[in-house]
Chain A
Amino acid sequence: MANIEIEPGAAHESVLVTTESFGEMTSSLEEIKCSSSSVSSHLEECNNDNNIIEQFEDTVSFVGDNNTDGEEAQELQKEWLGKEKHVFVLSFAGKPIYSRYGNEDKLAWLFGVMQTLVSFVQSNDDCIQSIHAGDTHFVFLIRKPLILVAVSKTQESYHQLTAQLNYVFNQITSTLTLTRLNKIYEQRQNYDLRRLLSGVERLIDHLLDFFEREPSFSLGAVQCLPLSPSVRDTISSSIVGSCSKIKNLVFAILLANNKLITLVRMKKYCLHPADLHLIFNLVQASESLKNSESWTPLCLPKFDSSGFLYGHVSYLAEDCQACLLLLTVERDVFFTLSDAKQHVVEKLRRANCLEAINESLNSSEVKCASAGFPEIRHYLYKCKSTAQFHQPSLSPLYAESKVHLINIYKRVHYRLHGPARPLKLVFERNSEEALLAWDTKGFELYVVFEPLIDTSFAINSVGRLLNWIKKREDKLFHLNAPTF
């Protein structure tokens, strides 16, 4: 392949951490806070959408070889078995904490079996990782003090499933903090954690659904809302202008429709994409946030798993559905942040930025065909230095089968990044499509072509595509990393 030097979307400084490690970051809340305050465990209760799930849980009977009375129960058992991906969370003592489908209590026997398997292998000074049986993969993740298990028929790899379990674990720590989680089990091994996690189940459910639809998780990147650079800069500077005086404000994040508009940060501190994904998930999953301003404690596990940040969360205005999060280490500055938010909205309204955001939200991304690439069906472009990615809107071919497309991307992503034998480039031609996955120092590119494309034409097309993205980079990517 020709050496292509351009690297659309690259920037010297990034708002996001771009390391791909799963390790914890070294940020410390203590560092930010001048005086340490004890961590509160107040949880926001948002049970609005729980009714349907609860009803389902009440009627579903557990699956096994007994207890199946009546046809209805068998029907439900069939339904439970037909699920593509189960996720279970349990304590080291085998106490059920979460099951994606079905009622944990009725599945208690299954949790018991999983706990036994894990501890049995551990007794041999070893650690169980996965079991493979035909189309079904069982993946175990042991993250003290919890055990997480995925049972999947989705053809995702061990590493992709482990990543999802890590996210689930992070979602739990995000509401409790790791420190508290550990303390709970140090005190009582048999603790029923579900008491503290009401409302979180819904977030985990949503997170797992999110994973199946969004490429951002496997890419470890976020997508930005396309905006002209002047608009984005105005938005950023309005936020900076209204908030720079506020002490200990760490991050201000503006997002809409699962896309980032801007992220303003305290000097020295960066946000990990994985933490940002949790924030996206929180906003996406909580309809109730739309109605009023909320104040919520939030632990960002990659940022600092030991304590909470406090978030002022609100939508900009009735007529602009972008969500602003102001994250601070102070516990009691709701009104200060509420005022600041009003200032931001006024400034944005005066500068016509709300209209610009709405306009971008209402217009769909350019399709490949109309951008002059009829041979390309879809692509993902990730700029590594900023951990941001871009994708065109779906061509009619995949509009109905988005999951199929995501699965294609997951599969080639794994081939490129398989831990045993990572590759620099994969070009695959099958009966349905031709795929190119390319990993360079600066970017990753995944392209789905028409199946009969000539190889040299495909290469040529990739070169043109990169140039095309380069030309539009300041619109598609958030290239500045503004600070307070």
Chain B
Amino acid sequence: MVTQIIAGLKNFFVFNSSLSTSEGDELEKILYYYPISDNTDVQIKNVGLVEGIIHFTETFRPSSSVSSVHTEKSRQLYYQPEKGYWMVMTIQLNHITKEKLEGDSGELGDDVQDNVYEAVLKQAYHMYRLFWGTFQGTKDTDTLKMTLEIFYRAYLQSLKLVNADILNIFSGIQYLPLDKQTFLKVQCFINSLESNYMMISHSAFLYNDYLIWSGIEPSDMQLVYHYLIDTLLPANIETELQGGSMPRNSPSPFAALRHGRFITGPSNLRLAKTVGKVPKVFFYGEQKPEEYYLVVYRALSATVCLFVKVETELTLNIFKDLDDFISPKLISLVSDIAEYCSKQVITPNMADNSPRFIYFNKMNLAYKSTVHLDNKQSGNVACMKDSVRIMADMKLNNSYLGSSGETIVKTMSDYWVVGKTSNAREFYIALQQKNASLIDISEEVRKLCETELKGIFFHST
């Protein structure tokens, strides 16, 4: 049996054919190209092949434009986010021949799943657009080339190709379910904040990696959420742990912890002389695109995102004022949330062989996973990796199921994987018990649905 192993990112480029009008200036149409070690001839050749493939496929009027090209040694993903602008990502593959797998040890290679890596490429575009706006909207080509360079140089470094899986397709948000009382407190806090500071158009509230409240469209929140969880917060938690932001000469070291701080903007209000770096973000969920400053404030385990109108002149005083307003309220709010959470035994220590599941709701982009042991896309999963890949296969097959359906499969190593869909909801379960029968499995799944998805209607038994 031959399996594919991802050997890394071979290239990644953005081009627009209409930017080159005559022979000899082909380089003009290439807006960004990675790696720089490919000389211009190679770049032009690779872009030329992609253009040829696009033209060839268009001859047959496909329902949508080309999305992937498979060759023996690579996998190429295509995405045309804006008319004429193409993004291409090529993954280098190695092939290894494995002896026929036996029993438990059965883990196949990476096997590049198109739907997973198409999602990775789309995310790469949407993240860019979140911070820099559309390609078309950029002032001129040179500016576009520069911003692409700035953004992707860093972004591609952080790309985790090997561990990409079905969660990349969902790119979902984890919500924290609260009781009415606590949730109302959060809402009161948000309302008083927004009504006291008219410059704040919208806001969002997170506790650890969970979203509690968001005032923006889910499709926009999804991106901000992933930026916070994947990039911004982990970097800051590291500095917190190193004690970098903690004033060492303060009377009590706990005083600092009892106080929040800005993660974007001035990080230390007492010492800051300028407002520091405040990123702008572009939202496209509403009818017309909107632009905001993204101000992130963090205290204890809570993160507050403020989407501030771009006309606002951000001064140090505004930040100080905000800090005085938010800090005391937030500290008490966080302790309420923490108290509520401590009362809830959210997930009892799961036995190794208990069923693991992933739930996703397309309407609010909410997901929950007991398959993944962390949020870091580290490949740290609690079931067979193949089971997670089978879930992505099932996702691909969902179009055949109609509005609701169910699939139960038994793997070569005798594990079971179940997928259920109903309207916009998807539920995937990896069951680790061997020697179970199909009837046992459907009973097990029914029980799991009752405990985990109480009140969510799933058609069929």
B237 within 8 A of A: no
- Interface hit among B23-31, B58-66, B227-235, B256-264: B58-66
Contact A1–B438 (Cβ < 8 Å): yes
Contact of B64 among A64, A81, A133 (CB under 8 A): A133
Decide if A135 touches B63 in the complex (CB within 8 Å).
Answer: yes
- CB pair A134 B67 closer than 8 Å: yes
Q: CB-CB contacts of A325-351 with B at 8 A, as 1s and 0s?
A: 000000000000000000000000000
Please, which residues of chain B bring their CB within 8 A of the CB of A134?
62-65, 67
Q: Is B254's CB within 8 Å of the partner chain A? A: no
**Cβ of B69 under 8 Å from chain A:** yes
The reply to whether B412 and A423 form a contact with Cβ atoms under 8 Å apart is: yes
B71 and A138 contacting across the interface, CB-CB below 8 Å: no
Q: Contact check: which of A128, A419, A429, A456 meets B405 at CB < 8 Å?
A: A429
State how many angstroms separate the Cβ of B75 from the closest Cβ of chain A.
10
Stretch at the interface among A119-127, A182-190, A257-265: A119-127
CA distance A424 to B52 in the complex (A): 41
Which of A151, A432, A455 has the most B CB atoms < 10 Å from its CB?
A455
Q: What chain B residues lie within 8 Å of A135 (beta carbons)? A: 62-64
Chain B residue with Cβ nearest A86:
B60
A121-B59 contact given A134-B65, A424-B412, A428-B401, CB 8 Å threshold: no
Cβ of A114: which chain B residues have Cβ within 8 Å of it? Answer: 56
Which of B12-20, B126-134, B300-308, B389-397 lies at the interface?
B389-397
Q: Using Cβ atoms and an 8 Å threshold, which residues of chain B touch A418?
A: 393
**Least Cβ–Cβ distance between B74 and chain A, in angstroms:** 7
Partner of B400, one of A64, A136, A430, A454: A430
Instruction: Kindly list chain B residues whose C-beta atoms are within 8 Å of the C-beta of A132.
Output: 66-70, 114
A202 to B49, CA, bound (A): 35
In chain A, residues 429-476, which have Cβ atoms closer than 8 Å to a Cβ of chain B? 429-432, 452, 454-456, 459
Pairwise interchain contact B62-A411, C-beta atoms closer than 8 A: no
Which residue of B is nearest A78, CB measured? B61
B409's partner among A131, A423, A455 (CB-CB below 8 A) is A423
Interface string of A41-84 (1 = CB under 8 A from B): 00000000000000000000001100000000000000001000
Contact A131–B401 (Cβ < 8 Å): no
Interface size class of A (residues with CB under 8 A): 35 or more
Residues of B within 8 A of A422 (CB): 412
CA distance A121 to B69 in the complex (A): 11
Whether the pair B409, A454 counts as a contact (CB closer than 8 A) is no
Cross-chain contact A117 with B401 (CB below 8 angstroms): no
For the complex, what is the distance from the CA of A120 to the CA of B442, rounded to whole Å? 51
Instruction: List B contacts of A110 (CB < 8 A).
Output: 59
Closest to A452 in B: B460
Question: Which A residues from 126 to 183 make CB contacts under 8 A with B?
Answer: 126-136, 138, 151, 153, 158
Residues of B within 8 A of A432 (CB): 402
Residues in A neighbouring B64, C-beta threshold 8 A: 133-135
Question: Once bound together, how far apart are the Cα atoms of A452 and B405, in whole Å?
Answer: 11
Contact B400 A426 (CB under 8 A): no
A427 touches which of B62, B68, B438 (Cβ 8 Å): B438
The verdict on A421 contacting chain B, using a C-beta distance below 8 Å, is: yes
Nearest CB to that of A408 among chain B residues? B400
- Interface flag for B194 (CB, 8 Å): no
Mask of B31-73 contacts with A, CB within 8 angstroms, 1/0: 0000000000000000001001101110111111111111111
Q: How far is the CA of A347 from the CA of B101 in the complex (A)?
A: 53
Query: Which B389-446 residues have a C-beta within 8 angstroms of A?
Result: 389-390, 393, 397, 400-412, 414, 437-439, 442
From the candidates A117, A126, A151, A426, name the one contacting B408 in the complex (CB within 8 A).
A426
- Cα separation A130 to B53 with both chains bound (whole Å): 11
Q: How far apart are A7's CB and chain B's nearest CB, in angstroms?
A: 19
**Which of these, B62, B70, B403, contacts A129 with CB under 8 Å?**
B70
CB neighbours (8 Å) of A2 from chain B are 437
Known: A133-B65, A136-B62, A158-B70. A424 touches B402 (CB 8 A): no
> CA of A106 to CA of B359 in the docked complex: distance in angstroms?
53
A128 to chain B, nearest CB (A): 5
With contact pairs A113-B52, A423-B410, A430-B402 given, residues A133 and B66 touching in the complex (Cβ less than 8 Å): yes
B108 lies within 8 A of chain A by Cβ: yes
- For A431, the chain B residues whose CB sits under 8 A away are 401-405
Q: Are A117 and B438 in contact (CB under 8 A)?
A: no
Is the Cβ of A411 less than 8 Å from the Cβ of B59? no
Inter-chain CA distance A306–B398, complex, in Å, is 46
**Is A455 touching B61 in the complex (CB atoms < 8 A)?**
no
User: Do residues A427 and B408 form an inter-chain contact, with CB atoms below 8 A?
Assistant: yes
Residue of B401, B406, B439, B461 with most chain A CB atoms under a 10 A cut-off: B439
Interface positions, chain A 77-128, Cβ under 8 Å from B, are 81, 86, 110, 113-114, 116-117, 120-121, 125-128
* B-chain residues with CB within 8 Å of residue A81 when the two chains form the complex: 60-61
CB contacts (< 8 Å) of B53 on chain A: these are 117, 131
Bound-state CA distance A430–B404 (Å) is: 6
Known: A415-B393, A430-B402. 16 other contacts (CB 8 A): A125-B73, A126-B74, A131-B56, A131-B70, A132-B67, A136-B57, A138-B57, A153-B62, A420-B111, A421-B108, A421-B393, A428-B406, A429-B405, A429-B460, A456-B439, A459-B437
The 6 closest A-B pairs by CB, nearest first: A431-B402, A134-B64, A134-B63, A136-B62, A133-B62, A425-B410
Which residues of A are in contact with B by a Cβ distance under 8 Å?
A: 1-2, 63-64, 81, 86, 110, 113-114, 116-117, 120-121, 125-136, 138, 151, 153, 158, 411, 415, 418-432, 452, 454-456, 459
